[in-house]
Structures are given as structure tokens and as C-alpha cells.
């Protein structure tokens, strides 16, 4: 057991799985830049660690084809905003092939996509696009919120025989946590109850989980007992843990750094308004990024994202 960073957890997961399964391989642009491929070319060779041209549709589509033909690609899309040029390959090919061919095709591939917001890089680089993929059947989606989950979920994703999108919050890159050196996996579709509580349920996604925990800690001092749930995977989604919690608390705040409209926060709210309405004792509050673009200027960027203060205010609103 060692304290390693979120980035190191990614690398550890990839390295271990590449050792375990010779059909895995890595590809992406400028793999050497980010630290998630350090040592891989040396250990596995350039055939299995491939630097691509800047051709997202080309190499993401090639990943689909390689997967269909029996390999297991792990694709570094780097910043999630760069998935749009390959959108058709993701939606029309990766998500749909198995179904179109009546189950003949298997697409065991992983797309890794960084959520690169909060860095002053403006609207074209700061996307958090996972909600749009949640509306496309056939794609599994994980959103690891700490190094331990990262390693365990990513290893599961690499072993999964279906395509998995792994959204990585780059604001957590240098976050450290205890991560076992040995092999472990976290199953997709099992939420994590980060903190138990009885007054209100806070569901938070990805980098928002730590803010939710901070808020819950602060609220505890005021005598408010908040339960914090990290779904860990959006598809499959652990409905049971969510609904059980609402049964107990009767109140829900959902924290999602995506834009508000058609966000995962909206989806979770809709699930609860449909399936747990009679348990609810207050409006469901979404704490999201508003429906504006992300500006470059640091003076006005950070205020747009959910944070501890906004979460606390939302919780108070459900209690009033």
C-alpha cells in the first residue's frame, strides 16, 4: 500500500493490465506528455504503445476495428474536448456495432478522456461532456474521483468486454491517496457511500465528490448529517444505493460540474422524482455549472463551478 497520485494510479492500472493481457495496447497523441505512459514504451515496446497522428476519428475508429478483431485498445484521448472530431466513431461505431451485428461483435476498448476545466484554457478545452454519452446506449462510463477508485475502476474497464469511457478529472491529477500495490478491481455499477448521513443525500460526480465531502464535514458541525454518494460509474448506474439513501434522508442535492441542461444531475433528479417521489420531503437541488461557456479569465472562471459553499447552500435550501 502506497500513497500515490491520481495520475500514478492511471499508470499503475494500465501497466498491470498490460502485463496481465498481451492483447492490450495503448494509443494516443503525445503519450509522453502526461505521465500516464511513463515507462510503457520501454517495457512493452513501441508496437503496443503507439503514438498517433492528430486524427481522432482515425485512431478512435481504429480502436473499434482492433477491438472487433480481438485486441484490447486503451486509447488516450487526452483532453475530453478532443473527442468531438471522433464523435461519429464513438456514437455510430463504438456504441452501436455490437447491437447492429446482433451480438457478433465484441468491443473491449477503453477511451480515457480528461476533464480539463478550471485551468484558464477557455471554452474549447474545458468541456465536461459525459452527459451526452450517457444518452447513447452501448457506452459504459466511469468517473473515478480519487486514486484508489481510479486504479480499481480503470482495471475493471480494461477487462470489460464492452466499450468503457473513463472520464478523468484533471483537477485531481496530483491528489494522493492510499492505493494497494497489488491487483484489485472495483466493479462497474457499484456506488460508493463516501460518508453516511441521515438528513440529506448529496450525490456528487468525479471531482465534485471532494467538495461534497468538505461540505458534509462543515455541515456536520452545524448538526446536519449529510450522506455523500459517489456513483463511480454512470453507466451502469447504481440506482439501488441512490434510492435507499433517499428513503432514509428524503432530501437530495446533486452536484455535477457539467452544464446544467440535460446533465447527469438532471438525470439523477429525474430518476428520484419518478421512483422515490413519495420519499421526498423537499425540492431536489442541482448544483451544476450554469449554461454559459467557460471563459479564459481566471477572474470569472472559477465562480462558475460547484464548490463547497454552493453545496452547503443547496443543502440548507432542502432543509428550510
Partner 1 sequence: MNSNSIAMEMYRRMNLIRRFEEMAEQLHAKGKIVGSLHSSIGQEGEIVGACLALRADDYMMGNHRSHGHPIAKGAKLGPLMAELMGRKTGVCGGKGGSMHLADFSVGSIGETSIVGSGMPVAAGAALAAKLQGLDRVSLCFFGDGASNEGTFHESMNLAAVWKLPVIFLCENNLYAAATPMLAVTSVQDIAVRANGYDMPGQVVDGQDVLAVYDCVTAAVARARAGEGPSLIEAKTYRYRDHAVNMGELGKVDLGGRSDEEVAHWKARDPIKLLRNVLVNELGVAEQDIEAIEQAAIQEVEDAHQFAVDSPLPSTDDAFTDVFIGTI
Catalytic (active-site) positions: 125
Closest distance of CB 257 from ligand TPP, Å: 21
Q: What DSSP state is assigned to residue 293? A: P
Q: What are phi and psi of 88, to 5 degrees?
A: -65, -40
Peptide bond into 236 cis (omega under 30): yes
Binding test (CB under 6 A) with ligand TPP, winner from 41, 58, 85, 120: 85
Burial class of residue 279, CB neighbours in 10 A (0-12, 13-18, 19+): middle
Closest distance of CB 234 from its own copies, Å: 8
Give whichever of 79 and 285 is closer to partner 1, judged by the CB atom: 79
Name the binder of 55 from partner 1, ligand TPP, its own copies, none, CB < 5-8 A by kind.
partner 1
Burial class of residue 116, CB neighbours in 10 A (0-12, 13-18, 19+): buried
Closest distance of CB 125 from its own copies, Å: 9
Give whichever of 25 and 167 is closer to its own copies, judged by the CB atom: 167
Name the binder of 277 from ligand TPP, its own copies, partner 1, none, CB < 5-8 A by kind.
its own copies
Under 8 Å CB-to-CB from 73, ≥6 apart: which residues? 24, 25, 26, 27, 62, 63, 66, 67, 109, 110
CA distance 247 to 249: 6
C-alpha cell at 141: 462510463
Site string for ligand TPP, 29-68 (x = CB under 6 A): xx-----------------------x-x------------
Name the binder of 32 from partner 1, ligand TPP, its own copies, none, CB < 5-8 A by kind.
partner 1
Give whichever of 24 and 89 is closer to ligand TPP, judged by the CB atom: 89
Size, binding site for ligand TPP by CB under 6 A: 6
Residues that bind its own copies (CB under 8 A): 57, 81, 84-85, 87-88, 91-92, 95-96, 99-100, 122-124, 127, 129, 131-132, 134-138, 235, 258-259, 261-267, 269-270, 272-275, 277-278, 280, 282-286, 291-293, 295
DSSP per residue, 294-312 = PPS-HHHHGGGS--HHHHH
- In this structure, are residues 207 and 28 in contact, taking their beta carbons and an 8 Å threshold? no
Binding test (CB under 6 A) with ligand TPP, winner from 82, 116, 133, 167: 82
Name the binder of 65 from ligand TPP, partner 1, its own copies, none, CB < 5-8 A by kind.
partner 1
Cβ count near 51 (within 10 Å): 15
- In this structure, are residues 283 and 318 in contact, taking their beta carbons and an 8 Å threshold? yes
CA separation, residue 71 to residues 18, 62, 109, 157, 241 (Å)? 12, 11, 8, 14, 35
Name the binder of 135 from ligand TPP, its own copies, partner 1, none, CB < 5-8 A by kind.
its own copies
List contacts with ligand TPP (CB under 6 A). 29-30, 54, 56, 82, 85
Amino acid at each position: 500500500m502506497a500513497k500515490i497520485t491520481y495520475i500514478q494510479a492511471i499508470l499503475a492500472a494500465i501497466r498491470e493490465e498490460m502485463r496481465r493481457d498481451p492483447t492490450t495496447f495503448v494509443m494516443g497523441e503525445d503519450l509522453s506528455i502526461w505521465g500516464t505512459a511513463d515507462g510503457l514504451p520501454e517495457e512493452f515496446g513501441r508496437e503496443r504503445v503507439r503514438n498517433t497522428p492528430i486524427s481522432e476519428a482515425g485512431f478512435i475508429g481504429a480502436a473499434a476495428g482492433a477491438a472487433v478483431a480481438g485486441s484490447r485498445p486503451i486509447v488516450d484521448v487526452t483532453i475530453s474536448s478532443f473527442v468531438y472530431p471522433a464523435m461519429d466513431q464513438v456514437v455510430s461505431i463504438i456504441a452501436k456495432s455490437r447491437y447492429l451485428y446482433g451480438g457478433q461483435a465484441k468491443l473491449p476498448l477503453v477511451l480515457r478522456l480528461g476533464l480539463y476545466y478550471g485551468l484558464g484554457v477557455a471554452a474549447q478545452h474545458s468541456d465536461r461532456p459525459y452527459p451526452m454519452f450517457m444518452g447513447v446506449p452501448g457506452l459504459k462510463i466511469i468517473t473515478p474521483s480519487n486514486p484508489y477508485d481510479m486504479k480499481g475502476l480503470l482495471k475493471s474497464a480494461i477487462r470489460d468486454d464492452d466499450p468503457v469511457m473513463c472520464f478523468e478529472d484533471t483537477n485531481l491529477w496530483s491528489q494522493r491517496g492510499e492505493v494497494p500495490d497489488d491487483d484489485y478491481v472495483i466493479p462497474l455499477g457499484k456506488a460508493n457511500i463516501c460518508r453516511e448521513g441521515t438528513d440529506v443525500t448529496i450525490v456528487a460526480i468525479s471531482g465534485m465528490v471532494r467538495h461534497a465531502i468538505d461540505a458534509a464535514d462543515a455541515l456536520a458541525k452545524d448538526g446536519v448529517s449529510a450522506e455523500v454518494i459517489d456513483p463511480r460509474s454512470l453507466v451502469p448506474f447504481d440506482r439501488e444505493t441512490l434510492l435507499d439513501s433517499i428513503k432514509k434522508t428524503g432530501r437530495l442535492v446533486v452536484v455535477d460540474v457539467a452544464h446544467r441542461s440535460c446533465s447527469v444531475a438532471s438525470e439523477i433528479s429525474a430518476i428520484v422524482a419518478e421512483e422515490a417521489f413519495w420519499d421526498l420531503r423537499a425540492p431536489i437541488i442541482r448544483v451544476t455549472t450554469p449554461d454559459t461557456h467557460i471563459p479564459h479569465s481566471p477572474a470569472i472562471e472559477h465562480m462558475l463551478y460547484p464548490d463547497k459553499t454552493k453545496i452547503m447552500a443547496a443543502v440548507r435550501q432542502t432543509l428550510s
